[in-house]
């Protein structure tokens, strides 16, 4: 029989807002973001730390939220796909991935954008190879990746100018 | 049942003395629990905020790497990615960018997987692991730390706080290569690390080889018989010895006979790459990509 884990109350800072939550210590960050906080842009894909659909940023670094304990994220700044927009204006990565045709079913897109976001924060002018490595923890079953890579490279050029 | 966040090493050690298990990035502990491999421990102490364990320090003997230094930090570190290049080769191959950003060197070592990518390079560089508990501190040669798959000689209350690596002599360096079926989110089918020191005439002054995923723990051998030989002879002999010494298993990733064959190939390539670096050549991290191992290369 599995152990029952006790609950803890704490704040989770998601996209700059503190959300009080009360969750068991074995709850993953993904389910708390989606179910307790109600932000459903972050997706559950493999639920096994392989596909990257659940990617969020933790203090700016990409993390697979399906396999990260929510309790361990307290005191850290979490960014989800809902947090990359400025008001009603899409982030250049969002706009370019749409314009380049890098979105088909869309399920991998939030994770792709967050991995790309973290990459561009640490490397403003990545080569195609560096983009592919930066996105290597994110699986896409539709696009064949080429248009996603193009969108990231186009964004890098835009953000530098 | 508790989850606490330690803000000092002493707080972490006190929690461990009371039975808590340390969690850093959680890339093995949480993923393993979700796979049903081992239940999540009921008492956890989060050590990921202990900034005192996040630095890389040059000492008179070599370098000390805090246990919470991440694979990404290692891959990007100016000293580690040049003078201790084999370790950076290994860290650069771990998981995905997210794994490398939260996965720590201390966690990788204490997880004691025979397929870990940092183990063989650290073993050939004769790294020592510093374990600390409320009872005191001790250093263990890394090969004595691993006792079986997933098992270490550390006591449950001991925390890995640092990894100490001796400074490489002049004209010496290391490399780590692995066989992989794809270039990301991969685990070594087999792997090999080499530490090579060269004489002035280019012959071998010292050669150590470490093998990944071909025995219950990382295998290491000091190939003293190769001293004075040419690099190409030593590389061929290292391949032969590696194939003889390997005791691989068959599993979903490869058969035992395939692993035995390919670990020889990896050993030869590791010796060649380490020797090129020892001679002063720069080979980009990780060697795997630079020499074209991997399906999409």
What structural domains does chain A harbor? 7-83 (3.10.20.30), 92-160 (1.10.150.120)
Q: Give me the residue from B3, B23, B39 closest to A3, CB to CB.
A: B39
Chain A residue with minimum CA distance to B24: A72
pLDDT of residue A3: 55
Distance between CA atoms of residues B271 and B192, nearest Å: 9
What confidence score (pLDDT) does residue B203 get? 98
Residue B287 dihedral angles phi and psi, to the nearest 5°: -55, -35
Please give, rounded to a whole number of angstroms, the shortest distance from the CA of B34 to a CA of chain A.
8
What is the tens place of the pLDDT at every residue in B71-100?
999 999 999 999 999 999 999 999 999 999
Flag if B101 and A64 touch (Cβ within 8 Å).
no
Q: What percent of chain A has pLDDT over 90?
A: 93
Cβ atoms B27, B97 nearer than 8 A: no
Relative orientation angle of helices A146-160 and A92-99, to the nearest 10 degrees? 140
SS3 at position B131: strand
**Do the Cβ atoms of A114 and A79 come closer than 8 Å?**
yes
Q: How does pLDDT run across A16-66, given as a tens digit for each residue? A: 999 999 999 999 999 999 999 999 999 999 988 899 999 999 999 999 999
- pLDDT at position A49 is 87
Work out the pLDDT band at B226, boundaries 50, 70, 90. very high
- C-beta of residue B163 within 8 angstroms of C-beta of residue B67: yes
Q: How confident is the model at residue B293 (pLDDT cuts 50, 70, 90)?
A: confident
pTM for this structure?
0.95
pLDDT (mean) for B55-67: 97
pLDDT at res. B186: 87
Instruction: Please state, in angstroms and rounded to a whole number, the distance separating the CA atoms of residues A148 and B199.
Output: 49
* Residue A2 reports pLDDT greater than 90: no
Of the pLDDT bands very low, low, confident and very high (cuts 50, 70, 90), residue B161 is very high
**Measured between CA atoms, how close is B249 to chain A, in angstroms?**
24
pLDDT tens digits for range B98-140: 999 999 999 999 999 999 999 999 999 999 999 999 999 999 9
Give the residue among A101, A114, A117, A107 at the shortest CA–CA distance from A139.
Answer: A107
Is the CB of B3 less than 8 angstroms away from the CB of A115?
no
The domain ranges of chain B are: 1-46, 172-290
User: Looking at the complex, does the CB of residue A75 fall below 8 Å from at least one CB of chain B?
Assistant: yes
**CA closest to A28 among chain B residues:** B30
Q: How confident is the model at residue A1 (pLDDT cuts 50, 70, 90)?
A: very low
Q: How far is B1 from chain A (nearest CA, A)?
A: 7
Q: Chain B residues with CB inside 8 Å of A74's CB?
A: 5
CATH number for B172-290 (one of 3.20.20.80, 3.10.129.10, 2.40.340.10, 3.30.390.50): it is 3.30.390.50
Q: Do A136 and B98 touch (CB under 8 A)?
A: no
Asked whether the beta carbons of A56 and A39 are under 8 A apart, the reply is: no
- The angle subtended at Cα B47 by Cα B46 and Cα B53, nearest 5°, is 175
| Statement: residue B150 has pLDDT above 50 | yes
| Interface-testing mutation among A6, A59, A64, with chain B (most B C-beta atoms within 10 A) | A64
Question: Are residues B26 and A68, on separate chains, in Cβ contact within 8 Å?
Answer: yes
Q: What pLDDT, on the 0 to 100 scale, is given for residue A5?
A: 80
């Amino acid at each position: 029989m599995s152990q029952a884990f006790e609950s803890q109350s704490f704040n989770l800072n998601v996209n700059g807002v503190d959300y009080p939550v009360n969750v068991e210590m074995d709850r993953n960050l993904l389910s708390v973001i989606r179910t307790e906080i109600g932000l459903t842009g972050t997706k559950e894909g493999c639920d096994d730390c392989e596909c990257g659909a659940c990617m969020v940023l933790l203090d700016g670094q990409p993390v697979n939220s399906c396999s990260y304990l929510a309790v361990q994220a307290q005191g850290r700044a979490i960014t989800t796909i809902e947090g990359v927009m400025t008001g009603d204006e899409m982030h250049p990565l969002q706009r370019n991935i749409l314009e380049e045709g890098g979105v088909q079913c869309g399920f991998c897109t939030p994770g792709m954008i967050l991995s790309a976001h973290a990459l561009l924060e640490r490397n403003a002018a990545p080569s195609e190879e560096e983009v592919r490595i930066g996105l290597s923890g994110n699986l896409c079953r539709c696009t064949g990746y080429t248009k996603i890579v193009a969108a990231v490279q186009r964004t890098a050029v835009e953000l530098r100018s | 049942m508790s989850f606490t966040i330690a803000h000092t090493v002493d707080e972490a050690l006190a929690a461990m003395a009371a039975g808590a298990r340390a969690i850093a990035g959680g890339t093995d502990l949480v993923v393993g629990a979700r796979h049903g491999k081992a239940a999540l421990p009921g008492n956890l102490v989060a050590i990921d905020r202990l900034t005192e364990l996040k630095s890389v320090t040059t000492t008179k003997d070599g370098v000390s790497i805090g246990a919470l230094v991440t694979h990404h930090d290692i891959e990007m570190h100016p000293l580690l990615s040049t003078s201790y290049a084999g370790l950076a080769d290994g860290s650069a191959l771990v998981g995905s960018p997210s794994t490398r950003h939260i996965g720590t060197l201390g966690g990788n070592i204490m997880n004691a997987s025979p397929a870990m990518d940092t183990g063989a390079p650290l073993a050939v560089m004769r790294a020592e692991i510093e374990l600390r508990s409320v009872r005191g501190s001790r250093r263990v040669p890394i090969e004595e730390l691993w006792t079986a798959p997933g098992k270490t000689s550390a006591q449950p209350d001991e925390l890995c706080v640092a990894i100490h690596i001796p400074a490489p002599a002049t004209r010496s360096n290391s490399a780590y290569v692995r066989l992989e079926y794809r270039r990301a989110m991969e685990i070594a089918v087999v792997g090999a690390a080499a530490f090579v020191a060269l004489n002035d005439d280019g012959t071998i002054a010292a050669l150590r080889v470490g093998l990944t995923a071909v025995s219950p723990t990382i295998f290491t051998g000091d190939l003293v018989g190769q001293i004075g030989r040419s690099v190409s002879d030593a590389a061929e002999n290292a391949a032969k010895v590696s194939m003889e010494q390997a005791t691989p298993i068959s599993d979903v990733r490869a058969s035992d006979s395939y692993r035995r064959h390919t670990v020889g190939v990896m050993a030869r390539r590791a010796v060649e790459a380490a020797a090129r670096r020892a001679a002063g050549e720069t080979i980009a991290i990780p060697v795997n990509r630079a020499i074209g191992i991997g399906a999409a290369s």
